[in-house]
Structure 1
């Protein structure tokens, strides 16, 4: 069995440490768009970079915050009607997936290192709105300089 490059305490620190959006990111989303932008933290003189990947589609929206050094997901929001199979059962529908060392060892598949929880979760609402979900994920992960993100939704994008 592989060993994770992070433990729960390290992951929690990475999730909660102050982050800044590195460069201005401008995107007008339309159906099935994907994108990414970078975040950076500098805590106790240690710089760390993160990547936020997103996909925007009808009933298939995902926002994923990953530690760039380890390539491990720290937090992921899924706004879809699918499920995530935790070691203790399935979580259906809108959910948040959080890094979990325990889940990695319980699942024992050498891959799964996140545990899913239904939304709402802590301060993150259950919403179908991509922009609200993105803002709440960035707030949850203590990300500042969000004014560098200019993401809009195409007017002609029909959700139904």
Structure 2
């Protein structure tokens, strides 16, 4: 997808990307009885654990009201976190997929992943404020916002 390719070319600094496999995605979906959105699956299978530290500089330099994205998580990390870390303790049932430079988390609501969808809204968990808010109508739209920076 052109939007994803532009994002990767502009921001990725991980030279040894580990892409998600169909088996890993199936394991994640089975583990939590969810169906991940197609746009996210396409991204993670095509690119994997993308690292985008330069986004923070752009946001700070331009004084933008936007949460930076730094790390896209491997499927293994998603499962581990959901079972043992931050997202296992949230009152809002969130499937994490990425984090910002301060460790706050981007994810999908589990309740939105009960049936097959092309896309699903993206939510942001701010670990300092302990809040979850919707920040985009889809993963693709969310990525597109960074492309416009």
Q: TM-score, normalised by structure 1?
A: 0.35
Which of the two has greater strand per residue? 1
Which of the two has greater helix per residue? 2
Query: Which entry has the higher C-alpha Rg, 1 or 2?
Result: 1
